[in-house]
Amino acid sequence: MSSNLLIDNFTKLIQEAQSDFANTNNSDDLEKARVKYLGDKSELKAFQKKMGEVTKEEKPAYGKALNEAKQAIEGFFQSAKAQIDEKELNFKLQKEKIDTTLPGLRSNQIGSLHPLTLIAKEIVDIFTKLGFSLVDGPEIETEYYNFTALNTPDNHPARDEQDTFYTDIANHVLLRSQTSPVQVRSIEKYGVPIRIMSHGRVYRNEEVNARKLPFFHQFEILCVEEDINFAHLKWTLQQFLSELFQDDVKIRLRPDFFPFTEPSAEVDAQCPFCKGKGCSTCGGRGWLELLGCGMVDPNVLELAGVDTKKYSGFAAGLGLERFAMLKYGISDIRDFYSGDIRFLKQFA
């Protein structure tokens, strides 16, 4: 077959492709047209294979026509794809659009509490049964209650501006980096013996990823009574975890350090998303840090005016987001603050 006849077929192919791509209405139609004109078994591929039938003198003209046909058909495809993508996106946005200016409509759908509220209420209920009372404290704290009263040295890196959000450096005022200041304030206010719990938002200069945010919610417990020891702490945490998860959770207790407890320990839970193999949620470690705990350092009690010869105590703190992730199978901490109604509907 002469190259002129083959080139004439290119013109016909281009016209057919232009018509077919122009008449595609959705992604399925577009994919069928792509396979027909640009797929491995398309007519265009067949023309490429016929290059060997063309004489040496005619090959330049044939090759040029072949490339022009390919570029034209790819252009039709990209143009149709852009139009269909825009059309489908607009349809999706229109379908999900909520006009907040319209009067409310009667609906059988009911709202739900946020997962962080749900987990907080459940944890509070458990510790209430264990004899703890709920207390509260300010989010804007002084450096004394956030650090000094908790036995944190003046040169501790947590006091640096790159780790803590100061609102007034000159007057040592900051956004609390933990809920532990509530413990000190409660001892000063109510005295001992005391058995309290508190929760609320805290702020730290953390990078944003699937496991961390610069703000999150913390929950803490404090028990100061006569003859309190580490066994009481361990029993309390075991009762709490068993009640919360209603299942066997594989945990490990490993030594750690916190300025306000001695001895201190970190409680880890095996990552439920990868079963200990390592994933993005657990940072490849196979374990999720569950909570920190320990015996209250005598220095903290003495600063609060407690007789450490008579009283001792334990404390534990956990992140509500991390517990909600474990409890409800949420893999990304950022979902809690996305405002995505599809996420929130799961808890209705």
Same domain, 90 and 193: no
Q: Are residues 216 and 260 in the same domain?
A: yes
Which sign, positive or negative, has the C-alpha torsion 184, 213, 209, 250?
A: positive
pLDDT tier at 16 (50, 70, 90 boundaries)? confident
Does residue 102 belong to any structural domain of this protein?
no
Instruction: Based on the fold, state whether residues 286 and 167 are members of the same structural domain.
Output: yes
Residue 108 maps to a domain: no
Give phi and psi for 317, each to the nearest 5.
-140, 140
What is the rounded distance in angstroms from the CA atom of residue 25 to the CA atom of residue 62? 33
Mean pLDDT, the chain, integer: 87
The answer to whether residue 228 sits within a structural domain is yes
Nearest alpha-carbon partner for 215 in 116, 286, 330, 125: 116
Q: In whole angstroms, what is the distance from residue 269 CA to residue 276 CA?
A: 9
Q: Which of 90-99, 112-121, 131-140, 155-164 has the highest mean pLDDT?
A: 131-140
Mean pLDDT, rounded, for 115-120: 93
Is position 164 within any domain? yes
Give whichever of 11-15, 235-239, 304-308, 324-328 has the largest mean pLDDT: 304-308
- In CATH, what number is assigned to the domain containing residue 197? 3.30.930.10
| Cα distance between residue 51 and residue 267, in whole Å | 70
pLDDT, residue 136, reads 95
Looking at the fold, whether 75 and 127 belong to one and the same domain comes out as no
297 pLDDT more than 90 = yes
310 shares its domain with 218:
yes
The three-state (H, E, C) secondary structure of 212-261, written as one string = CCCEEEEEEEEEEEECCCHHHHHHHHHHHHHHHHCCCCCEEEEEEEECCE
- Give mean pLDDT, residues 8-23: 84
Residue 1 binned pLDDT confidence (cut-offs 50, 70, 90): very low
Q: Which range marks the domain in which residue 123 is found?
A: 115-347
Would you place residue 107 in the very low, low, confident or very high pLDDT band (cuts 50, 70, 90)? Answer: low
Verify that 46 and 132 share a domain, yes or no: no
Residue 94 is encoded by which pair of tokens? 């229109």
* Position 106 in a domain: no
**Closest among 168, 194, 170, 172 to 182, alpha carbons compared:** 194
Q: Which two tokens mark 124? A: 């509070």
pLDDT-based confidence at 262, cuts 50/70/90? very high
Give the sign of the dihedral formed by CA 331, CA 334, CA 340, CA 344: positive
Flag the least confident range among 61-70, 103-112, 159-168: 103-112
What are 263-273's pLDDT values in tens digits? 999 988 777 67
What percentage of the chain carries pLDDT values higher than 90?
Answer: 39
Inform me whether the pLDDT recorded for 190 exceeds 90. Answer: yes
What pLDDT score does 256 carry?
93
Last residue of a domain, one of 43, 67, 96: 96
If DSSP codes are grouped into helix, strand and coil, which group holds residue 184? helix
pLDDT band at 198 (very low <50, low <70, confident <90, very high): very high
Mean pLDDT score, 185-196: 95
Dihedral sign (CA 22, 23, 29, 33): negative
**What are the DSSP calls for 88-121, one per residue?**
HHHHHHHHH---TTSPP---S------HHHHHHH
Element (H, E) at 168: strand 166-168
Same-domain check for residues 151 and 255: yes
Is 130 in the same domain as 92?
Answer: no
Strands 133-134 and 194-203: parallel
Q: Does residue 127 sit in the same domain as residue 237?
A: yes
> In the sheet that 140-142 helps form, which strands lie side by side, from edge to edge?
140-142, 173-175, 166-168
What does the pLDDT look like over 130-184, one tens digit per residue? Answer: 999 999 999 999 999 999 999 888 888 878 777 889 999 888 999 999 999 999 9
Residues 131, 182, single domain; the answer is yes
Cα angle value 255/320/158 (rounded, 5°)? 55
Q: Cis (ω within 30 of 0) for the bond into 255?
A: no
Per the rule left: phi > 0, alpha: psi between -120 and 50, beta: everything else, 275 is left
pLDDT of residue 147: 92
Q: 170 vs 249, which has greater pLDDT? A: 170
Structure tokens at 83: 């139009």
Q: Is residue 105 part of a domain?
A: no
Final residue of a structural domain among 64, 96, 128: 96
User: What does the alpha-carbon distance between residue 82 and residue 52 come to, in Å, rounded to a whole number?
Assistant: 36
Instruction: Categorize the per-residue pLDDT at 275 as very low, low, confident or very high, splitting at 50, 70 and 90.
Output: confident
| Domain finish residue from 96, 126, 157 | 96
Give the pLDDT score at 46.
82
Total number of domains constituting the chain: 2
Residue, of 177 and 288, whose pLDDT is higher: 177
- The closest alpha carbon to 132, from 238, 209, 236, 62, belongs to 236
What's the rounded mean pLDDT across residues 21-28? 88
Three-state DSSP class for 283?
A: coil
Say yes or no: 62 and 147 in one domain: no
Residue 109 lies in a domain: no
Taking the CB of residue 13, how many other CB atoms lie within 10 A of it? 18
Tell me how far apart the alpha carbons of residues 273 and 329 are, in angstroms, rounded to a whole number: 8
Q: What percent of the chain has pLDDT over 70?
A: 95
Region 25-40 average pLDDT:
87
